[in-house]
Structure 1
Amino acid sequence: MAFGWIDEQARARRRAGLVRTLRPRPAGSPLLDLASNDYLGLARHPEIVEGAAEAARRWGGGSTGSRLVTGTTELHAELERELADFCGFEAALVFSSGYAANLAAVTALAPHGSLIVSDAGNHASLIDGCRLARGTTQVVEHAEPEAVRKALSARPGPAVVVSDTVFSVDGDAAPLAELAFVCREFGAGLIVDDAHGLGVLGTGGRGAAQAARLAGAPDTVVTVTLSKSLGSQGGAVLGPAGVIDHLVNTARTFIFDTGLAPAAAGAALAALRLLRREPERAARARAVATALYDRLTAEGHEAVRPDAAVVSVRAPSADRAVRWAADCRAAGVAVGCFRPPSVPDGISRLRLTARADLTDEQIGRAVRVIGETRP
């Protein structure tokens, strides 16, 4: 049978306790949410919902085509201008997802003959971008600028260094200033994915690149997602105007993909404007993450100190991590569960995401449930 091999893979996943299933959530779920990436608590905020609704009423349910054909509206251009201005870059380009934005940035900026130096802890979208790019990829030790220097020094010529700013598994931050210094030593470009930094790090949530004083640098390109802190959907690439123009003309996930739906663009723009007015939300998200970490470690859990809004709690094994997360859910608290092959080091974890709108009572409740259900 043509796809008979799928059955054997399914059996192997069951034996290893690695089966994934879809679990639709109802509207207005009663669960205390520490599983989503809604860091600022904006996904259901009335202003953001109205921003989406108004955009849909004005522009329709879909963008109707590629950005280069009919899929670019005045709303998309407005979002790009305000996003670039907020984050401190010359220009921005909006994509249908953060994944598409990462594929675009890496493939378009690492042509044949170039070297791509990629952090071992990078997100799957960056890894796939490296695989699709025509350059040669070298994976280096996680968050080690000296490993990047060694890779660049061994192969002179065009090169880019690719890294998350905040790594999605443990929530640790990349040493951006040091990476930029090494890149400039060898004339390499720096591409960083700030999916977990935008809205949390930097002045008023302007992102990790701004915090590292790299915003607007001619050799730095930043990708972001609109689906985490901004509570919407989509992604964007930020950088010099020349780089953005290059992407418009060469990035396949821009040229051949349907543009971001107007409702998502409207929601993201409303969230961005709210964040400008309420910059304290960024600091609150970080404070909640620190409080979760402090209380969990005080209770004897093995957690990783958060650099942004992700708190990682190690589990004994993949199957016990799944059971732990399920027991938390049954007790009314939704937490993430990361296990192989999603984690590069093979260590299973509960992954908690701090939200700016969590109260101290809710933080205490979450810690209590995690402790009571520990396998």
Structure 2
Amino acid sequence: MDGFAARIRASLQQRHEANLYRQRLTLGSAQGPLVALDGREYLNFCSNDYLGLANHPRVIEALCAGARQYGAGSGASHLVCGHSEPHQQLEIALAELTGRQRALLFSSGYAANCGALTALLKSGDHVFEDRLNHASLLDGGRFSGARFRRFAHNDPADLARKMATAGGNRLVVVDGVFSMDGDCAPLQPLAALCQRESAWLMVDDAHGIGVLGESGAGSVAAAGLDSVQVPVLMATLGKALGTAGAFVAGDGELIEYLIQEARQYIYTTAIPPAVAAATLASLALLREEGWRREHLAALIARFRQGAGELGLPLMPSTTAIQPLPVEDAARATALSERLRRRGLLIGAIRPPTVPTSRLRITLTAAHSMAQVEQLLEVLAAEWVARQ
């Protein structure tokens, strides 16, 4: 056996033995609180469709209308001939939502983070990242060639100690809402520290945009911060907004610089114009239907109350992401499988994605209070009864 084949086989075998093997689900239905899998209906608590917009009739119709007018694909990168009117309208709308001068669309959150970080940072610069940042932020920092340092999770004091020994251009990078723990970054003290140190702050708000803040503008707006305090804001469109893609928002010079320098923007085919049209419909629903955020908040509060009554050791999250720690990967996998047999889809998240295994329970505005009660009832049977 040649070296590559041997490496591949050994890696796969090791993952199986450690209960870390990843497997895909193949759904036979649209996203929603109820989904079809292998001919059976399941109550879905592992989707990031936080506002329940991925299958909304207005979003679907906007997608179809966009496809009828602009076709199924964009045909080229934004800088060749792939930038269409819906792209332009969406960038303007996203800039308005986030209170920034301009926004720039990317094909994915991974591309947006790597593109922004590798364009902004150069050799000799310093980038400081929260230890629990998303993999795309960590990779972008490493790829950039800058001096890369991680600080203790949500610990501005540790960040300050590390920044004290670094000169030159300094960029601090955090998630607004951490995707696996569900907690929020302490953005106000981080922003104040960056202001004192003449450093820039970049926030990845993939899990905050659309959900947090009075208008759904995200965690930065919820913290009362502006574009001066947070010069670089990234967020995705495929979670609360229910479509696909991502964007970076900032002042006009930053966006123009990324257009010229971000390789993940320059050398990638633009998202289909129809997807941009669908996202414009999502943004309209975000403005018109504030009840979605209110209902989601009520579901989160009820779930946490019920979990507390059951003695479930939830992590301290007030967002739609409600992680339930499990001591090892084997038990997390087994518990996820038992819940599936009882009709619930809840993913088991294991190392190396997270330092400790957990069930990642996510709530959406499309869930009903009765479905949350059903979730608590099944967890009581499958978790509490086995303690």
Corresponding position of 1:358: 367
Q: Which is further off, 166-175 or 25-34?
A: 25-34
Q: Shift in Å at residue 283 of structure 1?
A: 2.7
Corresponding position of 1:124: 135
Q: Shift in Å at residue 219 of structure 1?
A: 4.9
Corresponding position of 1:285: 296
Q: Shift in Å at residue 373 of structure 1?
A: 2.2
Q: Which is further off, 186-195 or 205-214?
A: 205-214
Alignment of 1:1-375 (within 5 A): 1-3=2-4, 4-28=6-30, 29=36, 30-217=41-228, 219-343=230-354, 346-374=355-383
**1:145-189 deviation per Cα after TM superposition (whole angstroms, max 9, x unaligned):** 111111211112110000001101110000001100000111100
CA RMSD of aligned residues (A): 1.3
TM-score, normalised relative to structure 1:
0.97
The one-letter amino acid paired with 1:351 is R
Q: Is the 8 A contact 2:195 2:229 kept in 1?
A: no
Q: Is the 8 A contact 1:105 1:191 kept in 2?
A: no
Q: Is the 8 A contact 1:195 1:228 kept in 2?
A: yes
The one-letter amino acid paired with 1:180 is A
Cα distance in 2 between the residues matched to 1:246 and 1:330: 51
TM-score, normalised relative to structure 2:
0.94
Q: Shift in Å at residue 290 of structure 1?
A: 2.3
Q: Is the 8 A contact 1:289 1:306 kept in 2?
A: no
Tell me the percent identity: 38
Cα distance in 2 between the residues matched to 1:20 and 1:225: 24
The one-letter amino acid paired with 2:379 is I
Q: Is the 8 A contact 1:293 1:305 kept in 2?
A: no
Cα distance in 2 between the residues matched to 1:258 and 1:212: 34
Q: Shift in Å at residue 218 of structure 1?
A: 6.2
Q: Shift in Å at residue 305 of structure 1?
A: 2.8
Q: Is the 8 A contact 2:191 2:229 kept in 1?
A: no
Q: Tell me, which stretches of 5 or more residues in structure 2 are unaligned? A: 31-35
**1:205-228 deviation per Cα after TM superposition (whole angstroms, max 9, x unaligned):** 111111112233265211000000
Cα distance in 2 between the residues matched to 1:363 and 1:125: 32
Q: Is the 8 A contact 1:311 1:353 kept in 2?
A: yes
Count of aligned positions: 373
Cα distance in 2 between the residues matched to 1:219 and 1:165: 11
Q: Shift in Å at residue 245 of structure 1?
A: 0.6
Cα distance in 1 between the residues matched to 2:29 and 2:73: 22
Q: Which is further off, 301-310 or 67-76?
A: 301-310
Cα distance in 1 between the residues matched to 2:298 and 2:335: 25
What secondary structure sits across from 1:38 in the alignment? coil
Q: Shift in Å at residue 43 of structure 1?
A: 0.6
What secondary structure sits across from 2:334 in the alignment? helix
The one-letter amino acid paired with 1:359 is S
What secondary structure sits across from 1:31 in the alignment? strand
Q: Is the 8 A contact 2:59 2:278 kept in 1?
A: yes
Q: Is the 8 A contact 1:227 1:234 kept in 2?
A: yes
The one-letter amino acid paired with 2:23 is T
Corresponding position of 2:33: none
Q: Is the 8 A contact 2:234 2:246 kept in 1?
A: yes
